[in-house]
C-alpha cells in the first residue's frame, strides 16, 4: 500500500515533479510507496506531500529524459520516471545505457513519442493571417494608436502536453511576427518580445480563411506526381489526427481518385514535338549572350557585388586595347577605390617612375588587377588594406582571364605573388621564380609588386630592390619587342 500521494498539476508538470523527486529522495521513499495523482484525482490515500528538499544530482541524459517524458499523456509517467531515478541512484548509474532493460525501453519509447509529437507540431501546424483591431490582447494597443494589427493564429491538437516544449522553435523562427498558438491544453501568445501563456482554447469553426490557403492548396496539388501515387505512405507520415487543421488536405480525395486516369492519359498521349524550334539556333543565341567585348565584360564586373569585404566600386583595367604588354597587380588600394582607376596610389606612382626609367611608356601598356575590388577593414577612420584570400583570388581569376582573352597581349606581367596566383591558378614564390614564365595561354613574366618596394624598411635595400625591378621592366620591354617582331 502506498504511503505517499503526490498531487501533480495537469499537463507537463516538470517543476512539480522536480520538487517531489527531491523530497522523495531525501526521505528515501521507495517507488512502490508513492502514487502520483493528476490534479483533481479522487483516489485519496496516503499522505499528501509537503516541504522543500535539496537538489538531486543526476546524469544529464536522465534529466533530459525526464524533461521529455513529463510531456507524455500516459498517467503512469511520473511513477515510471521515479522508478528509473531510484534505480539510477541505487547502484545503476549507467542504467540508460542498457537500452534492453524493459523500463528503459518503455521510457525511451515514451520519449520518442513526445519528440515526434513536438516535431509534428513544428511541421504540421498552420498559421492563418488574421487582421484585428488592436490584436489579441488589449494591453498591446493601449495608448499606442495602432488600429489594424496583423497576427498569425494557429489551432493545433498535440498528441501530448508539448505546447511549451515546442514553443522555442516558433519564437526563433517567427521572431518578428505576432502569433498565437491555440491548443486544447493551453495557448501561447507572442508579440515579438514576450511569450505569454493563456488558457486552453477550442477550434473556432467560424475562423476566416487566409488569402494564401487557396494558393497553398494549388501548390500542394501541383507538386503531387500521379504516377507515384501511394496514399498509404502519405498517411503513415502524416497522421490523420492533424488533417482537420491543415488547409491543403482538402485537395487529397480528388488527387487520389483522379490519379489512375491521369497516368493512363499521360501514357497514351504521344509526343508532339514541334520541329520549328531548331536546337542549333537556340544554342547559338545562347552562346552569343556571353560578353562580346571587353566593354561588356567590364560592365558586368562593375555591376557585380564585390566578393571581398569593403570596396565601394570595381576598379577596372585601363589602357589601349591593343597593348603589347598587360601588367597585372594584386588589387586596388584605398586611393584606387576612391578614384576608380588602377595604379594611382603610391605604388602606382612608383611603377610610373620605374616604367619611365625602363623606357616603357605608361600610356602604351594595359594596367589591371587580379582582384577588382579593394578589400579592407576599418581601423578607426582608416581603411586598412587586407590581403585577398586564395579563393577570392581564384574567384576573380575568371574575370581576369576573360579580360586577357579580349586583350590578347604579347606578354602578361605579374606584379607579385597574388597576380601570379591569379594567372597560373597556383601559389608561386616570387623570389624563386622571378623572370620569364608561362601563364597559359599567355607568355608571361613575374616580378615584384611595387608596393613591396615601398614596404622595405632599409634605404639601401630599397634602392637595390628598385634597381632590380627596373631591370626586370627592361627585360619585359625587350621580350615584348622580340615577340612583336616575331609575329
**Interacting residues with another protein between 228 and 287 (CB under 8 A):** 228-234, 236-238, 246, 248-249, 252, 255-256, 259-260, 263, 265-267, 269-275, 277, 279, 282-283, 285-286
What are the distances in angstroms from CA 187 to CA 158, 195, 208, 483?
12, 10, 19, 81
Report cis status (omega within 30 of 0) of the bond before 168.
no
DSSP H or E stretch at residue 152 = strand 148-155
Q: Which stretch binds another protein (CB under 8 A): 64-72, 167-175, 376-384, 416-424?
A: 167-175
3-state secondary structure (DSSP) of residue 29: coil
Q: Which residue of 174, 357, 434, 462 would you call a contact of another protein, by CB under 8 A?
A: 174
> Of 282 and 356, which CB lies nearer to another protein in the complex structure?
282
> Of 75 and 119, which CB lies nearer to another protein in the complex structure?
119
Q: Which residue of 1, 44, 50, 99 would you call a contact of another protein, by CB under 8 A?
A: 99
Could you give the string, one character per residue 48-87, with x where binding to another protein holds by CB under 8 A and - elsewhere? ----------------------------------------
In the numeric block, the cell 500542394 is attached to: 220
Q: Which residue of 15, 32, 214, 405 would you call a contact of another protein, by CB under 8 A?
A: 214
What are the distances in angstroms from CA 122 to CA 186, 195, 241, 387?
17, 17, 15, 45
Shortest separation between residue 389's beta carbon and another protein, angstroms: 5
Q: Which stretch binds another protein (CB under 8 A): 25-33, 127-135, 359-367, 376-384?
A: 127-135
> Of 9 and 264, which CB lies nearer to another protein in the complex structure?
264
State the Cα torsion 471-369-375-425 to the nearest 10°: -90
Rounded Cα distance between 200 and 191, Å, is 19
Q: Count the neighbouring beta carbons within 10 Å of the beta carbon of residue 133.
A: 9
Shortest separation between residue 415's beta carbon and another protein, angstroms: 23
Rounded Cα distance between 428 and 432, Å, is 8
> Of 108 and 454, which CB lies nearer to another protein in the complex structure?
108
Could you give the string, one character per residue 193-212, with x where binding to another protein holds by CB under 8 A and - elsewhere? -----------------xxx
Q: Can you name the residues that pair with 5 across neighbouring β-strands?
A: 35, 48
Shortest separation between residue 332's beta carbon and another protein, angstroms: 18
Please tell me what DSSP assigns to residue 193.
S
3-state secondary structure (DSSP) of residue 157: coil
Of 372-391, binders to another protein (CB under 8 A) are 389-391
Q: Which residue of 18, 116, 126, 462 would you call a contact of another protein, by CB under 8 A?
A: 126
> Of 218 and 312, which CB lies nearer to another protein in the complex structure?
218
| Number of chain positions touching another protein (CB under 8 A) | 91
Could you give the string, one character per residue 129-148, with x where binding to another protein holds by CB under 8 A and - elsewhere? x-------------------
| Of residues 454, 447, 456, the one with CA closest to residue 474 | 447
Instruction: Report angle CA 195, 200, 202 to the nearest 5 degrees.
Output: 120
Shortest separation between residue 77's beta carbon and another protein, angstroms: 19
> Of 225 and 312, which CB lies nearer to another protein in the complex structure?
225
In sign, the C-alpha dihedral spanning 307, 309, 314, 318 is negative
In sign, the C-alpha dihedral spanning 128, 132, 138, 144 is positive
Of 292-311, binders to another protein (CB under 8 A) are 304-305, 307
Q: Which residue of 44, 94, 206, 378 would you call a contact of another protein, by CB under 8 A?
A: 94
Q: Which residue of 177, 358, 443, 465 would you call a contact of another protein, by CB under 8 A?
A: 177
> Of 400 and 480, which CB lies nearer to another protein in the complex structure?
400
Rounded Cα distance between 454 and 458, Å, is 10
Of 433-472, binders to another protein (CB under 8 A) are none
**Category of 143 on φ-ψ map: left (φ > 0), alpha (ψ -120 to 50) or beta:** left
Shortest separation between residue 212's beta carbon and another protein, angstroms: 5
What is the C-alpha end-to-end distance of the chain, expressed in Å? 108
> Of 281 and 436, which CB lies nearer to another protein in the complex structure?
281
- Residue 213 CB-half CA count within 13 A: 16
Shortest separation between residue 171's beta carbon and another protein, angstroms: 9
Residue 26, C-alpha cell as written in the block: 531525501
- Output the DSSP codes for 256-267: HHHHHHHHHHHH
Shortest separation between residue 228's beta carbon and another protein, angstroms: 4
Shortest separation between residue 398's beta carbon and another protein, angstroms: 5
Q: Can you name the residues that pair with 47 across neighbouring β-strands?
A: 4
| Of residues 157, 7, 161, the one with CA closest to residue 71 | 161
Rounded Cα distance between 238 and 228, Å, is 17
Of 388-417, binders to another protein (CB under 8 A) are 389-392, 394-395, 398-399
Residue 237, C-alpha cell as written in the block: 507520415
Shortest separation between residue 327's beta carbon and another protein, angstroms: 23
Shortest separation between residue 74's beta carbon and another protein, angstroms: 18
> Of 42 and 100, which CB lies nearer to another protein in the complex structure?
100
> Of 124 and 452, which CB lies nearer to another protein in the complex structure?
124
Amino acid at each position: 500500500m502506498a504511503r505517499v500521494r503526490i498531487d501533480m498539476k495537469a499537463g507537463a508538470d516538470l517543476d512539480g515533479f522536480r520538487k517531489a523527486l527531491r523530497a522523495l529522495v531525501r526521505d528515501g521513499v521507495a517507488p512502490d510507496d508513492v502514487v502520483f495523482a493528476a490534479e483533481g484525482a479522487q483516489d485519496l490515500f496516503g499522505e499528501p506531500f509537503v516541504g522543500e528538499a535539496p537538489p538531486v544530482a543526476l546524469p544529464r541524459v536522465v534529466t533530459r529524459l525526464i524533461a521529455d517524458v513529463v510531456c507524455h499523456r500516459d498517467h503512469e509517467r511520473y511513477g515510471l520516471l521515479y522508478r528509473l531515478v531510484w534505480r539510477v541512484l541505487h547502484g545503476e548509474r549507467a542504467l540508460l545505457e542498457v537500452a534492453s532493460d524493459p523500463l528503459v525501453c518503455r521510457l525511451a519509447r515514451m520519449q520518442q513519442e513526445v519528440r515526434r509529437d513536438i516535431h509534428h507540431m513544428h511541421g504540421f501546424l498552420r498559421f492563418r493571417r488574421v487582421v484585428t483591431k488592436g490584436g489579441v490582447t488589449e494591453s498591446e494597443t493601449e495608448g499606442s494608436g495602432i488600429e489594424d494589427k496583423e497576427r498569425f493564429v494557429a489551432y493545433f491538437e498535440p498528441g501530448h502536453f508539448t505546447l511549451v516544449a515546442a514553443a522555442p522553435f516558433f519564437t526563433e523562427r517567427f521572431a518578428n511576427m505576432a502569433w498565437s498558438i491555440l491548443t486544447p491544453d493551453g495557448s501561447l501568445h507572442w508579440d515579438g518580445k514576450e511569450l505569454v501563456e493563456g488558457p486552453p482554447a477550442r477550434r473556432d469553426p467560424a475562423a476566416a480563411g487566409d488569402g494564401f490557403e487557396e494558393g497553398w492548396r494549388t501548390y500542394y496539388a501541383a507538386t503531387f506526381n500521379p504516377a507515384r501515387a501511394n496514399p498509404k505512405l502519405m498517411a503513415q507520415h502524416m497522421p490523420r489526427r492533424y488533417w482537420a487543421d491543415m488547409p491543403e488536405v482538402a485537395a487529397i480525395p480528388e488527387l487520389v481518385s483522379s490519379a489512375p486516369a491521369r497516368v493512363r492519359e499521360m501514357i497514351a498521349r504521344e509526343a508532339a514535338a514541334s520541329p520549328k524550334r531548331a536546337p542549333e539556333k537556340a544554342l547559338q543565341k545562347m552562346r552569343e549572350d556571353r560578353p562580346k567585348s571587353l566593354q561588356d565584360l567590364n560592365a558586368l564586373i562593375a555591376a557585380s557585388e564585390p566578393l571581398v569585404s569593403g570596396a565601394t566600386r570595381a576598379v577596372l583595367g585601363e589602357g589601349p586595347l591593343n597593348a603589347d604588354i598587360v601588367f597585372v597587380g594584386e588589387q586596388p588600394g584605398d586611393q584606387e577605390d576612391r578614384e576608380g582607376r588602377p595604379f594611382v596610389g603610391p605604388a602606382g606612382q612608383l611603377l610610373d617612375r620605374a616604367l619611365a626609367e625602363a623606357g616603357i611608356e605608361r600610356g602604351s601598356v594595359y594596367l589591371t588587377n587580379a582582384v577588382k575590388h579593394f578589400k579592407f577593414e576599418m581601423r578607426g577612420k582608416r581603411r586598412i588594406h587586407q590581403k585577398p584570400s586564395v579563393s577570392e583570388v581564384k574567384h576573380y581569376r575568371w574575370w581576369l582571364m576573360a579580360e586577357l582573352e579580349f586583350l590578347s597581349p604579347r606578354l602578361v606581367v605579374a606584379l607579385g605573388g597574388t597576380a601570379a596566383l591569379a594567372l597560373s591558378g597556383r601559389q608561386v614564390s616570387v623570389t624563386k621564380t622571378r623572370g620569364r614564365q608561362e601563364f597559359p595561354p599567355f607568355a608571361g613574366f613575374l616580378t615584384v609588386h611595387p608596393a613591396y618596394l615601398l614596404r622595405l624598411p632599409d634605404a639601401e635595400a630599397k634602392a637595390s630592390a628598385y634597381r632590380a625591378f627596373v631591370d626586370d621592366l627592361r627585360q619585359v620591354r625587350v621580350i615584348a619587342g622580340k615577340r612583336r617582331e616575331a609575329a
